[in-house]
Chain A
Amino acid sequence: SYELTQPPSVSVSPGQTARITCSGDALPKQYAYWYQQKPGQAPVLVIYKDSERPSGIPERFSGSSSGTTVTLTISGVQAEDEADYYCQSADSSGTHVVFGGGTKLTVL
């Protein structure tokens, strides 16, 4: 079955830039979406269609795509950004949704 691969953890100091990658063979053909999840809460969409930012999401969140890898970038990380981040896409047929394993962002 199709998989998306994320690093389990990323750590950065406040004010630095965090980059979280997500790799998958179908990413050149399918859009990627990113979600932030804090403990005990439902996920929140932070990036859609590889690089679009929903209204209400701070400008420090951005997304990019290159080949089989998509990247979530958080510039000027703040303590409140500490959370789990999940990429999401679909298989090559577009019928089956898949989530990456998640990346825990720690703000040192």
Chain B
Amino acid sequence: EVQLVESGGGLVQPGGSLRLSCAASGFTFSSYWMSWVRQAPGKGLEWVANIKQDGSEKYYVDSVKGRFTISRDNAKNSLYLQMNSLRAEDTAVYYCARWTDSSGYNYWGQGTLVTVSS
């Protein structure tokens, strides 16, 4: 059974940092593009970043470029999101999701809440 389990969310002050993790199981993690998608309270889904199978390609939404870094450790079946210089508008539930061109985001984690507030 495919499972994606996020962790690392919490309350952080503006300007602070946080590192999210996503533990993957039930599939060959190194064979898939992976993404982070977020959802602010009461708002829609927003793609944040994605990373190629071997980590050689990474793409970001403009609003987080230069502040967030997506990475992966295929030996640990884990996806990460390092978030620096956090702003109030980064407050959201952050989901990790598995991507394939042939079937889109067909697996999602349960999400982890990040709250940026003083």
Contacts and interface: CB of A to CB of B under 8 A. Distances in A.
B11 to A, nearest CB: 20
Interface string B85-117: 000000000010000011111101111000000
B7 to A, nearest CB: 15
Contacts, number: 57
A102 B43 CA distance: 9
Interface of A: 1, 31, 33, 35, 37, 42-45, 48-49, 52, 54, 84, 86, 88, 95-102
Given A1-B62, A43-B108, A48 B103 contact: yes
Contacts of B103: 45, 48-49, 52, 54
B45 A35 contact: yes
Taking chain B's interface residues, is the majority helix, strand, or loop, or is none over half, making it mixed?
strand
A31 B99 CA distance: 13
Interface residues of B, number: 22
A100 B45 CA distance: 8
Interface of B: 35, 37, 44-47, 50, 57, 59, 61-62, 95, 101-106, 108-111
A6 to B, nearest CB: 9
